[in-house]
Amino acid sequence: MSDQPIAADDKPMAMALQAGKEYYWCACGKSGGQPFCDGSHRDTSITPLPFKAKGGEAHICMCRKTNNPPYCDGSHAQ
Ligand code: FES
């Protein structure tokens, strides 16, 4: 059982999000439907992060090192 998130990629994913829609960011990094939760965290103590999108293009963290989840804060480059 791993409780450490893994990187799904070493750069953020740019994508258009629907304003007001609730999404579940994959916090564990194991989802097959990145960057969103698909239930693959079930063998960890990690749970997805629900968030409401503001709309427009967002850069979603894929390295799981961000201090501003689910959004990229540049931590992947450090
Ligand atoms: S699959 Fe990663 S948090 Fe659910």
Report helix, strand or coil for 40.
helix
- For ligand 1, atom 4, which residue shows the shortest CA distance? 37
Q: Taking the alpha carbons of 43, 31, 10, 71 in that order, is the dihedral positive or negative?
A: negative
Report helix, strand or coil for 61.
coil
Ligand 1 centre from 12 Cα, in Å? 17
What does the radius of gyration of the chain's CA atoms come to, in whole angstroms? 12
Segment 44-71 mean pLDDT: 97
Give the model confidence (pLDDT) of 9-25 as tens digits: 999 999 999 999 999 99
pTM recorded for the entire structure? 0.93
Say which residue, 78 or 36, is predicted with more confidence: 36
> 1 pLDDT exceeds 60?
no
Give the model confidence (pLDDT) of 37-54 as tens digits: 999 999 999 999 999 999
User: Domains in the chain, ordered, with CATH?
Assistant: 13-71 (3.40.5)
Token digits of residue 1: 């059982």
26 Cβ below 6 A of ligand 1: yes
